[in-house]
Amino acid sequence: MVESGGCSAKISPKQLEEVLKLLHLPEDPDILVGFETHDDAGVYKVNDDLALVVTTDFFPPVCSDPYEFGQIAAANSISDVYAMGGKPVIALNIMMFPASKLPMEAFAEILKGGADKASEAGVKIIGGHTIDDYPPKYGLAVTGYVHPKKIITNSGARAGDALILTKPLGTGIILAGQRLGIAGEKDINEAKRQMKLLNRTGAEVMKKFSIRGATDVTGFGLAGHALKMARASKVTITLDMKKVPLIGSTYKIIDEGCIPGAAFRNLDFADPDTRFAEDLDYNLKMIAFDAQTSGGLLMCVPQNLTESVLSDLHAAGLTSSAVIGSIQKKTDKYLIINN
């Protein structure tokens, strides 16, 4: 029942930035991360040993099974706490549901999927809010703990770091392909498996190696989130698109003409700050901007640690994890996209 499900339903990053500019930023020394750096979550210091990581995400269905939708939405919401180096603790349900149009069993199944995924993450859902609305939308507002000196942010990328991605790309393209009937069952199932996967294990590896710069890849696509990180860290990030792991036939589905609208919105946002290789493959370019739902962690890893970080990620079951780019001193553009 939806035109764009999951994180592809986000407002265009360009429009969002224009509106955020009009907002007055609250001033308080205890706000450790606010919205200037476009981070995954806000961080507020409670005392010298404890800060709260707070975030919310919700979106329309990405699949027809309400239980799976609940799982995916919850995994996606909780991911922002992991991306900041936090431990998610409690959450609230956010639900919009058309009670007169859909059976209440579907409502219950969405909440059950969310609750099961939250409990897998060790998160307790302790309340929520529901309104009657069509089409359904679901997600969580999540609160986590982080040590004030161990926050992982968009501004933590350093020249010389390698860029590692923990999940393959392609969820936006495959879900759009599914609506057009050109995505295969195997690819759809793999996309769903990846979207349900918590970023917890990736976050544990980041903590073990004291990684300081990271984000998760969601609605603005790999390139959009990399750009936000490059701007916040005042560095240039290079993406080597041929090294990026892809889900199944993602590349081929573009050949058949399927590119979701969100990819063009993301491209439009990043274009002024990006240098594209002259021979850049068109499909790889659009994959870089494909909106991901519940995507992987994108982390900045000092060169001497990349081998160890990769082998830990692989051992933890994140077998697609790969070095997909690098970080250098700021040049004329924040982002470079190569083949």
Are 51 and 32 contacting, i.e. CB atoms less than 8 angstroms apart?
yes
- Candidates 23-31, 126-134, 138-146, 263-271; binding stretch for Co ion (CB under 5 A): 126-134
Site membership for Co ion, residue 129 (CB under 5 A): yes
Nearer residue to Co ion within complex by CB, 40 or 161: 40
Are 337 and 276 contacting, i.e. CB atoms less than 8 angstroms apart?
yes
- Candidates 108-116, 173-181, 212-220, 283-291; binding stretch for Co ion (CB under 5 A): 212-220
- Candidates 94-102, 121-129, 146-154, 313-321; binding stretch for Co ion (CB under 5 A): 121-129
Residue of 168, 137, 149, 146 lying closest to 69 (CA atoms) = 137
Are 290 and 7 contacting, i.e. CB atoms less than 8 angstroms apart?
no
Site membership for Co ion, residue 39 (CB under 5 A): no
Q: Distances in Å between the alpha carbon of 92 and those of 113, 114, 128, 142, 183? A: 14, 10, 5, 7, 34
CB of residue 217 to Co ion, shortest distance in Å: 8
Tell me which of 68, 216, 240, 290 binds Co ion, using CB under 5 A: 216
Tell me which of 80, 161, 240, 290 binds Co ion, using CB under 5 A: 80
Residue of 330, 252, 237 lying closest to 286 (CA atoms) = 252
7 is a catalytic site residue: yes
List the catalytic residue out of 7, 63, 258, 300. 7
For residue 182, the tally of other CB atoms under 10 A from its CB is 17
Residues 44-73 contacting Co ion, CB under 5 A: 57
Quote the CA–CA distance of 286 and 126 in Å, as a whole number: 40
Structure tokens that stand for 78 in this block: 């909780």
The alpha carbons of the chain give a radius of gyration, in whole angstroms, of 19
Nearer residue to Co ion within complex by CB, 40 or 187: 40
The DSSP bridge partners found for residue 308 are none
Nearer residue to Co ion within complex by CB, 129 or 314: 129
- Candidates 27-35, 88-96, 129-137, 243-251; binding stretch for Co ion (CB under 5 A): 129-137
CB of residue 308 to Co ion, shortest distance in Å: 25
CB of residue 139 to Co ion, shortest distance in Å: 9
Q: What is the dihedral of CA 304, 309, 315, 318, to 10 degrees?
A: -140
Which residue has 């308080």 as its token pair? 28
Nearer residue to Co ion within complex by CB, 197 or 253: 197
Which residue has 């594209």 as its token pair? 276
Kindly determine how many residues on this chain lie close enough to bind Co ion according to the rule CB under 5 A: 5
With 0-12 CB in 10 A as exposed, 13-18 as middle and 19+ as buried, what is 22?
A: exposed
CB of residue 148 to Co ion, shortest distance in Å: 20
Active site residues: 7
Query: Which residues would be at the binding site for Co ion (CB under 5 A)?
Result: 40, 57, 80, 129, 216
